[in-house]
Every structure is written in structure tokens, then in C-alpha cells.
Amino acid sequence: SAVISQKPSRDICQRGTSLTIQCQVDSQVTMMFWYRQQPGQSLTLIATANQGSEATYESGFVIDKFPISRPNLTFSTLTVSNMSPEDSSIYLCSVERGARMNTEAFFGQGTRLTVV
Amino acid sequence: GENVEQHPSTLSVQEGDSAVIKCTYSDSASNYFPWYKQELGKRPQLIIDIRSNVGEKKDQRIAVTLNKTAKHFSLHITETQPEDSAVYFCAAKERWEYGNKLVFGAGTILRVKS
């Protein structure tokens, strides 16, 4: 298994501001994933963060809005920039354990963001 | 890219009855299919998964079946209990130039009535 510590667990932010979410894993992993889960919706991948390289963003997500850092193999941050109410969502980090295609994904407890 | 469709979106069953949730996927190269359970306010947690080299897998009251030809897989929960009430997500692992990533279905809200 994997122990993932994500913080903050929740926050209420003013529009136009930015929030940085931190994700700490109990052991080294190659890739860390950031998801968004809008209210009552499924998990949508925002980007994949590899240590030592720029994150890879999914269609509809851009680096200027969601900058990601990956300074080492156990830590990553996701920043939600210039927030608007539409950014209100749960943000989750995730890692995988296993080999190749046969891996299990583990999730952090999520950050519930409300933008007012 | 991979597309995963999940049905039904909501499912209500009586305690003790069975529940079945179905998913279809589009990419024949996908070969790993996990199911996640998410209770209210909690993180998603893996409950069962299946690789494409098997057709069925069972773990106590939970089973998953896979039909690679038809590209669909299903979650079966028998003897449902109130604590089975949650949102269930299926997923398929898509091979992608930077590695492999999970594509999730839209989710099924399961309500078990006691």
C-alpha cells in the first residue's frame, strides 16, 4: 500500500487568489497524478508529475492555471491559480504501486476547495 | 484515447439483494480494470481489480467479470449490506506515451435500503 498525506484537507478562498496543495508520499514513486473531482462527478486527471521534468497536462488543463512542482520522488504540489467559483472542487493526488500496467492507484484524502 | 462508460448512474437495492454495475471501454489495448469505492467525504479505495488475462475474479461478496471481446466488465456485489452504500467507479488503464494512466467511468451511486 501507499500512505499519502495531502494538505490542506479543505479551504475556502477568495476569487482571484491562488492555493497550493501539497502531497507527501511515504516512499519514492516515479509518477504522481493530480485529479479533480467536481461535486457529484467522476475523477478527471489534471496532470502527471514526474520528478525532474515538466508535468504532462491533460486536454483542458494548462500549466498557467495549474502549475505543478515535483522537487523529489516523494513530494509534489499543485497550485490552483487565479481562482474562480468554477474551480470549487475536490483535488486529489494519487500514486501507483506495482509493475507496468498492473498497478494499484492510491489516493490522498483530497482537498475540498471552495472559491467564493 | 480511452473512453469508459458506466451504468447505471444510480442503483437502489434492498439489503440482501445483489447489485450489478457495468462498464464498457473503447481501447482494446487497455488491460487493467480496477473498481473503486468512494464513501461520502472519503478518498476512493480499490475494492477489486482484474487483468485482461482472466475472465473473472472474486473476493468474498464482490466479483468482477471481464469480456475482452465485447470490451465490457462488470462489478457484482452479492448479499448487499447498508455499508455497501457508496459511489463506485470503474476504470481502465490506458497505455500512453509517458506511461500508463487510469480513465474513470462516471460513477454509480449505490444505495442499499435496510
Q: What is the pLDDT of residues A9-47, one digit of tens each?
A: 999 999 999 999 999 999 998 889 999 999 889 999 999
**With bands split at pLDDT 50, 70 and 90, how would you rate the model's confidence at B75?**
very high
More confident residue, B101 or B108: B108
Return the exposure string of B72-81: e unless at least 16 CB atoms fall within 10 Å of the residue's CB, then b.
Answer: bbbbbbeebe
B60, B61, B62, B67 alpha-carbon torsion, rounded to 10°: 100
> Is a pLDDT exceeding 70 seen at residue B96?
no
- Closest CB to B100: pick one of A56, A101, A107: A101
> Is a pLDDT exceeding 80 seen at residue A2?
no
> Is a pLDDT exceeding 70 seen at residue B99?
no
Report how far apart, in Å, the C-alpha atoms of B36 and of each of A53, A55, A116 are.
Answer: 30, 25, 31
Q: What residues of B are in contact with residue A105 (Cβ under 8 Å)?
A: 34, 36, 46, 102
Per-residue model confidence as pLDDT tens digits over A61-105: 999 999 999 999 999 999 999 999 999 999 999 998 766 555 788
Per-residue model confidence as pLDDT tens digits over B13-60: 999 999 999 999 999 888 889 999 999 999 999 999 998 878 999 999
- Residue reference for cell 500514486: A95
B68 near B54, Cβ under 8 Å?
A: no
Q: How far apart are CA B17 and CA A105, in angstroms?
A: 29
Q: What residues of A are in contact with residue B98 (Cβ under 8 Å)?
A: 48, 50, 56
User: Quick one: B53 exposed, middle or buried, by C-beta within 10 A (0-12, 13-18, 19+)?
Assistant: exposed
In chain B, how long is the greatest CA-to-CA distance?
A: 47
User: CA of B81, closest CA in chain A: separation in Å?
Assistant: 23
C-alpha cell recorded at residue A24: 507527501
pLDDT of residue A68: 96
